[in-house]
Chain A
Amino acid sequence: MSLRTVAGAVFRREMQLFARRKSDWANPIVFFLIVCSLFPFAVGSESEKLKLIGIGVIFVGALLSAMLSLPRLFDDDARDGSLELMLASSEPLAVLILARITALSLGLGAALTIAAPVFALFYALPFAVAGMLALSVAMAVPTLLLIGAIAAALLVSARGGAILTAVLVLPLTIPTLIFGAGAALKVFYGEPPAAELALQGAFLLLALALCPLAAAAALKISTD
Chain B
Amino acid sequence: MARTEQQSNDKFAGRWFWRYASPAAFYPLAGKIENVCWVLACLLTLVGLYVGFFVAPTDATQGEVYRVIFIHVPAAWMAMVIYLAMAFWAGTGLVLGTRLSFMMSHALAPTGAIMAVVALWTGALWGRPTWGTYWVWDARITSTLILFFLYVGYMALAAAFDDKKKGDRASALIALVGAINVPIIYFSVKWWTTLHQGSSVRPGSSSMATTMLWAMLIMTFAFWAYCVAAAMHRLRTQIIERESGSAWLREAVK
Contact = CB atoms under 8 A, between A and B. Distances in A.
Interface of A: 150-151, 154-155, 157-160, 164, 167-168, 170-172, 174-175, 178-179, 182, 199, 203, 206, 210, 214, 217-218, 221-222, 224
Given A175-B185, A178-B188, A158 B170 contact: yes
A164 B160 contact: yes
A172 B177 contact: yes
Nearest to B171: A154
Most buried by B among A150, A175, A203, A206: A175
Given A151-B174, A167-B152, A210-B180, A158 B161 contact: yes
Contact of A217 (B167, B173, B192): B173
Chain A binding site: helix, strand, loop or mixed by DSSP? helix
Given A151-B174, A154-B174, A159-B161, 14 more contacts: A157-B166, A160-B157, A160-B160, A164-B157, A167-B152, A168-B157, A172-B177, A178-B192, A182-B192, A199-B188, A222-B166, A222-B170, A224-B166, A224-B169
Nearest to A150: B177
Interface residues on B, range: 20 to 34
A218 B160 contact: no
B77 to A, nearest CB: 21
Nearest to B167: A158
B157 to A, nearest CB: 6
A174 B188 contact: yes
A203 B167 CA distance: 28
- The winner among B149, B152, B153, B192 for most chain A CB atoms within 10 A is B153
A159 B169 CA distance: 15
Interface in B86-131: none
Contacts of B191: 178
A224 B94 CA distance: 14
A215 to B, nearest CB: 10
B153 A168 contact: yes
Contact of A218 (B152, B161, B170): B170
A203 B184 CA distance: 9
Contacts of B162: 159
Nearest to A175: B188
A86 B53 CA distance: 63
Given A217-B173, A222-B170, A172 B178 contact: yes
9 contacts: A167-B156, A168-B174, A171-B149, A171-B153, A182-B192, A182-B195, A214-B177, A221-B166, A224-B166
Interface string B141-183: 0000010011011001100111000110110011011101100
Contacts of A179: 188
Contacts of B167: 158
Contacts of B227: none
A167 B148 CA distance: 11
A155 B188 contact: no
Contact of A164 (B150, B156, B181): B156
Name the residue among A151, A218, A221 with the largest chain B CB count within 10 angstroms.
A221
List of 7 A-B pairs having minimum Cβ-Cβ separation, nearest first: A175-B188, A158-B160, A171-B149, A160-B160, A168-B153, A178-B192, A221-B169
Contacts of B157: 154, 158, 160, 164, 168
Contacts of A158: 157, 160-161, 166-167, 170
Contacts of B180: 210
B102 to A, nearest CB: 12
B160 A159 contact: yes
B156 A160 contact: yes
B121 to A, nearest CB: 19
